[in-house]
Structure 1
Amino acid sequence: MQDLGVLHYILGLEIYFWKGHAFISQNRYALSMLKKFQMKNSKGIDTPMEHTVKVPIKYDEKSSVDITLYRSLIGSLIWLTVTRPNLSFCVHKLSQHMQDPKLYHWKLAKRVLGYISSTLDYGLLYKGEDLTLIAFLDSDFAGDRLDRKSTSAYTIFHGGDLVSWISKKQATISLSSCEVEYKSLTTTTKEVLWIKRLLLELKCYADEDLPIIKNDIISVQALANNLVFHARSKHIEVAHHFVREKVIGKEISLEHVEFSDCVADFLTKPLLKNVFIKMRSNLGLISKSMLIKI
């Protein structure tokens, strides 16, 4: 084996160290992608998707696009989400149309490229200041206009640094916003506990510290702490018992967070420009030029 020194570039990821912090971006990869799809000189856009956009699963439009080209673009965007979690929702939606993409979807995808061209040097900042484990979860109730399935999302931070996130359509239809959120809570709990076990093995987490999971719906916390089931909540009893077992066993702690501070919100729906920029900053997603201010 050979010591290649400090890591700076691997698989399209650029790693830059500054004052004990690590900054990970995909500047060169994003630039090559813009060149490939002839969007290098495109006009910069502030958000990857307009907040009014509703992406249907099927679109009543006869004009199709090059399927191979569309799939290539979506595949490239999926890899870019490794350091751009703010693209996860729009890529998640666009990837649902790879079987039969239309001009409508292609235009939405090109808008994402326009946003990337204006944020080429953006990446994730890792400070490693403490060892706390905090998760935020959110969901979009019946967000898909065709099958009315909901989207679950979570963001997990270790020491204030983003380490895991997801934006995924739920497998079954939910009958209430509480049920949607509770399914998200179950998924988030499993991921948080897995990360905790991994961090304990790496000696990067204090065993006595309790992971905190935050959401913006109070009824979910009430249900997790309620031993009595009502008729309207029987169908989520299994998920309830799993989460409640972890709450009683003091493996996790549930807290309420205001809607405006739930940083998983950007993974379930398009946002207004000012809200999107605030969420992006809260994730630790910054421009490389901003490092000098740290």
Structure 2
Amino acid sequence: MQDLGEIHYILGLEIDFHEEYAFICQSRYVFSMLRKFNMQNCKDIDTPMEQHVKDPIKVDERSFEDITLYRSFIGSLIWLTITRPDLSYCVHKLMQFMQDPKIQHWKMAKRVLRYVSSTQDYGLLYKNEDLTIVGYSDSDFASDKMDRKSINAYTIFLGGNLVSWLSKKQDTISLSSCEAEYKALTTTTKELLWIKRLIMELKCIKDDDLPLIKCDNISAQALAKNPIFHAKNKHIEVAHHFVREKLIGGEINLEHIDTSSCIADLLTKPLCKSVFSKHRSNLGLISRSMLDPHKIHF
């Protein structure tokens, strides 16, 4: 074995180290993607998806002829989401049409790459902070117009640094926004507790350090704290008891936040430019050109 020193490039990941931060991006990988799909001269755009995107589900919509090209395109974008959580929702959406992509899906995919081109040197910033664990939970109720399933999303921060995120369609249909949010809360709780136990095994935090979950749905929080179960929500009793057990046992804490402050909202739906940019910044995604230590707030 040979010690090659501090890592700087591996599997398309570029890692910059500094005394006070580490920065991970995939700018070289993006450049090779643009060349591979002949889009190095494409027109840049500010968001990966239109805010009010038209539903690409027309039965008579013409299929995209080169399915292999579409799958290769989406596969390349999937690898890019390792350092680009801002792409998670749109890539998750496009993945659903791998078997039979339409012309409109191909246009949507190319729009994503146009956005990637405009943010080619963006990556995740990891700063020297404490090890407080904070999670943001969110859901977009019945957002999929094909099957009316809701989208689960969470972002989990360790010391202000993004360490885990998810954008995924729920397995079953939710009958209310409260139920959809509660399912998302359950998923967030499980991931957050797993991260806490991992950090505890590394002797970095104590057992009494209470993780915090921030949610913008008052009904879901009330359901977690309410010991009385009503007939209309008995079908989510198992999820209810799991979250409530962790809440009463002092393993997690719940806090209500305004929807505009819920960072996980970025992973549930297309947003306008201003809100998208705000949440992208809150995720710790910045341009490499901003890495001057005097410009970064610690």
- What TM-score range do you get, normalising by the shorter chain? over 0.9
Give the corresponding residue for 1:272: 272
Equivalent residue runs for 1:86-165 within 5 Å: 86-165=86-165
Question: In 1, distance between residues paired with 2:105 and 2:262?
Answer: 28
Alignment of 1:140-289 (within 5 A): 140-289=140-289
- Contact 2:78–2:91 under 8 Å retained in 1: yes
SS of residue in 2 equivalent to 1:286: strand
Judged with a 3 Å threshold, the aligned counterparts in structure 2 of structure 1 residues 184 and 54 are, in CA distance, closer, same or farther, namely farther
The structure-2 alpha-carbon separation of the partners of 1:123 and 1:212, relative to structure 1 and needing over 3 Å to count, comes to same
Scaled by the length of structure 2, what TM-score is found? 0.96
**Taking structure 1 as the reference length, what is the TM-score of the superposition?**
0.98
1:76 counterpart = 2:84: no
What residue in structure 2 maps to residue 12 of structure 1? Answer: 12
Q: Does the CA contact (< 8 Å) of 2:27 and 2:122 recur in 1? A: yes
Counterpart amino acid of 1:172?
T
- Distance in 2, matches of 1:230 and 1:289, equals 54
Once superposed, what is the RMSD of the aligned Cα atoms?
1.1
- C-alpha contact (below 8 Å) 1:59/1:102 kept by paired residues: no
Contact 1:56 1:144 in 2 (8 A): no
Q: Find the residue that maps to 1:53 and give its secondary structure.
A: coil
Mapped to 1, the partners of 2:83 and 2:161 lie a distance apart of: 12
Could you say if the C-alpha distance between residues 288 and 187 of structure 1 is closer, same or farther in structure 2, counting changes exceeding 3 Å?
Answer: same
The one-letter amino acid paired with 1:46 is D
The structural deviation recorded for 1:291 is 1.1
Q: What's the offset of the Cα at 1:143? A: 0.5
Q: Secondary structure in 1 aligned to 2:236?
A: helix
Question: Is the 1:161–1:284 Cα contact (8 Å) retained in structure 2?
Answer: yes
1:59 is displaced (CA, Å) by: 5.0
- 1:199-234 C-alpha deviation (Å, 9 max, x unpaired): 111223232210001110011111111100112111
Give distance in 1, aligned partners of 2:68 and 2:30. 19
Amino-acid identity (%): 72
Distance 1:106 1:59, change over 3 A: farther
The equivalent of 1:51 in structure 2 is 51
Partner residue of 1:60? 60
Does structure 2 retain, via aligned residues, the 8 Å contact 1:57–1:144?
Answer: no
What code does the residue aligned with 1:48 have? P
Cα distance in 1 between the residues matched to 2:83 and 2:213: 23
What displacement does 1:41 show?
Answer: 1.1
d(CA) in 2 for partners of 1:211, 1:92: 28
- Name the amino acid aligned to 1:171: D
Task: Name the CA shift for 1:224/1:2 in 2 (closer, same or farther; >3 Å).
Answer: same
Q: Distance in 1 between matches of 2:59 and 2:114?
A: 23
Equivalent pair of 1:122/1:287 in contact (CA under 8 Å): yes
Do the aligned partners of 2:47 and 2:276 also contact (CA within 8 Å) in 1?
yes
Q: Structure 1, residues 88-137: CA drift from partner, whole Å, max 9, x if none? A: 00000000001000110000000001001111100000003111000001
- Mapped contact 1:56–1:145 kept (Cα < 8 A): no
> Number of residues paired by the alignment?
294
Runs of 4+ in 1 over 6 A off after TM superposition: none
Structure 2 residue matching 1:97: 3-state secondary structure: coil
Q: Indicate the SS of the match to 1:89.
A: helix
Distance 1:55 1:89 in 2: 15
Structure 2: distance between partners of 1:133 and 1:83: 20
2:41, 2:7 → 1: CA distance?
Answer: 31
Letter in 1 for 2:135: A
One-letter amino acid matched to 2:219? S
Partner of 1:228, secondary structure, is coil
AA at the equivalent of 1:197: R
Cα distance change on mapping 1:182 and 1:36 into 2, 3 Å: same
What amino acid sits opposite 1:243 in the alignment?
A: V
Q: Report if aligned partners of 2:70, 2:106 keep a CA contact under 8 Å in 1.
A: yes
* 8 Å Cα contact 2:14-2:26 kept in structure 1: yes
